Structure formats: structure tokens, C-alpha cells
Amino acid sequence: MVKVTFSPTEELVIHEAVEMTKDDLLLERITPAGNLPLYWCNGILFSFSSIPMTDDIVKEFLKGRIHWLEVHFAKLDKYVPLITWESDEYKSRMNVRVIDTSTSVLHREFIQWLKTNIKKK
């Protein structure tokens, strides 16, 4: 019999959180190689970048601590699975997938923290 152990994240360390417009958030996910998805949880559309997995970061991860280098976010009250970005300037139309992560305990707690601690400038 294989022993299965669940070891949830104990701490999420955010190094930078930046509120931006939905269009700017979409544009950051559109790349020449393809469009990267965005995440949505409880009224917030967001992306994050992780720190490269060095030996020290792996040790942190195994202790239950995750580091997100940057989080970019925008308010989006209702979940939609696909957002279309259109530009007259570039004469283009792009679709970006949105993944609903509202069932993730980590994402829900992060969004709660974000709404409480980050004020729009």
C-alpha cells in the first residue's frame, strides 16, 4: 500500500503586487509564441510569476513556503472563460483563456489578502 501525504502550502510570499488595467494584463499574456492563460478568483483577474527553482527555493517549497516574484491583477467581477482583446492600432484581435481557480484554497486566501492589503493608488 502506498502512503499518500497531503502537505498544503503554509505560506505564500508575495514580493510585488501591481494593479493594472484589464487590457494591460491581457497584453502581458499575449506573446509571439502563444497566449498564456490568466487566473480568476473571487472577482480578481491575475497572473503571477514564480522565482526560479534554485536549491534554496526548493528547500522553501518543501517547508510549505511558496514565493511569487510578481503578481499583476485587475478587478473582474464575473468569471468568463475567454477574454477577447481588440486593437484598432494593431488591427488585431486576440483571445486569452481564463482559468477559474476559485476552488483553490491558496488562491482564495491570496485574493482575500490582496483585497484587504492592496489599495489602488
pLDDT in tens, 58-117: 999 999 999 999 999 999 999 999 999 887 776 778 889 999 999 999 999 999 999 999
**pTM for the full predicted model:** 0.88
pLDDT in tens, 16-30: 999 999 999 998 888
DSSP 11: E
Q: How many CA atoms lie within 13 A of 80 on its CB side?
A: 10
Domain spans in the chain, listed from the N-terminal domain onward: 11-117
DSSP 58: H
Give the span between the Cα atoms of 44 and 112, in whole angstroms. Answer: 10
For residue 96, give the nearest of 85, 108, 107 by alpha carbon.
85
